[in-house]
Amino acid sequence: THEEVITELAGAYFKSYRQLPQVLYQIQTKFRDEPRPRFGVLRSCEFIMKDAYSFDRDRDGLNENYQKMYDAYHRIFKRCGLRFLAVEADPGIMGGDVSHEFMVPAEGGEDSLARCASCSWAASFITDQIKKNKACPKCSGRLEFQTAIEVGHIFKLGTKYSQAQGAKFLDELGREKPVIMGCYGIGVNRIAAAAIEQSHDKDGIIWPEGISPYRVLISPLNIQDKKSKEAAFALYGDLKKRNIDVLLDERDERAGIKLKDADLIGVPIQIVIGEKNIQKGKVEIKIRKTGKIATVRKEDVLHCLKNSSFSA
């Protein structure tokens, strides 16, 4: 993350209370000298990250921006189709006095969290005392421990960086004060990894529709069959015109391989074009998540994709 750099920018440009509050963000590829790269994209030397920084005049402003980010992260991860928890966290070397991590429970996770079975308390900082007592510090209820993937982390930095680097502004009375800062990060690669960990079965990935690379996969089972090929390309063109993200499997492969690969890559909606069905002007629609299959007229495909009963 870029706390030091962004603090230098804030100190250079935000000189008056009239310029505050401000929120700056970036989404870009980052590099880290990771001593032990592992777990694929979860712990790698190169990764994509969204980080944002808030700058306020006072603590009340920081609290307001922090809550806005907290709520926004809830909406983002919900739209990504993740089952997640916002837990109390240790600020660590980042500093500050308040921090929350957004954790996705998963067997393949590298982090641990404690969660109360009775109340809403959850935390990623698990002290020896908590491990020993296995009791919630809030209500004394029974704690459950599980592994998880961290997909987001937010901090109230306060004046740790602004005080050290001289990022100050003049208030209403002309007094010089350090800017009050917050920091907010999302691991973009980790969202994909967490979604796969949570949403898969023995056949492959089940992408949540909100983050799937494609919404629809069209599979003509015999690309050498003229009617199947024409129907596949016509449907592909219709969906593209309507800005629907669609993938066409035009490989000359056996039907079984195409169907297995369709399940493996996990596109939410599969449209299967078989020789017998297309002779009758029909295709199959399969929902990857539920396995539900319906045979419909090819003219009704667009209507079905809009129908909530065919939602992935």
pLDDT of residue 1: 66
Please write the tens of the pLDDT for every residue from 266-298: 999 999 999 999 999 999 999 999 999 999 999
pLDDT at 136: 81
Per-state percent for the chain, helix, strand, coil, to nearest 5: 35, 35, 30
Task: Please tell me the distance from the alpha carbon of residue 277 to that of residue 283, in angstroms, as a whole number.
Answer: 6
- For residue 112, what pLDDT band results from cuts at 50, 70 and 90? confident
Judge contact between 246 and 234, C-beta under 8 A.
no
What tokens does 27 get? Answer: 């989404």
Question: Can you name the residues that pair with 45 across neighbouring β-strands?
Answer: none
Q: What is the pLDDT of residue 92?
A: 65
Nearest Cα to Cα of residue 20 among 166, 158, 129, 169: 169
Domain assignments of the chain as residue spans, ordered by start: 3-198, 216-310
Residue 308 has pLDDT above 70, yes or no: no
CA 21 to chain centre: 27
User: pTM (2 decimals)?
Assistant: 0.86
DSSP 179: P
Q: How many helices (H) and strands (E) does the chain have?
A: 9, 17
DSSP 42: G
Q: Residue 198: beta bridge partners?
A: none
Supply the CATH classification number for the domain 3-198: 3.30.930.10
**What's at 228, amino acid-wise?**
S
113 versus 70: which is more confidently predicted? 70
pLDDT above 70: residue 86 = yes
Q: What percent of the chain has pLDDT over 90?
A: 71
What CA–CA distance (Å, rounded) separates 125 from 287?
Answer: 39
* Pairing, β 246-248 against β 216-220: parallel
Mean pLDDT, residues 64-73: 97
Q: Which of 175, 165, 185, 167 is nearest to 56 (CA)?
A: 167
As a whole number, mean pLDDT of residues 108-127 equals 80
* 19, two tokens: 């310029």
DSSP character string of 85-108: EEEE---GGG--SEEEEEEEE-TT
Within 10 Å of residue 37's Cβ, how many Cβ atoms?
13
| CATH code, residues 216-310 | 3.40.50.800
Query: What is residue 310's predicted lDDT score, i.e. its pLDDT?
Result: 62
Please say if the pLDDT value at position 205 is more than 60: yes
Q: What are phi and psi of 72, to 5 degrees?
A: -65, -40
Task: Render pLDDT for 119-156 as a digit per residue (tens, 0 to 9).
Answer: 878 887 766 666 767 788 788 888 888 889 999 999 99
Query: 85-88 and 98-105: which strand pairing?
Result: antiparallel
What value does the mean pLDDT of the chain take?
Answer: 90
pLDDT at residue 276, rounded to an integer: 95
For the chain, percent of residues with pLDDT exceeding 70:
92
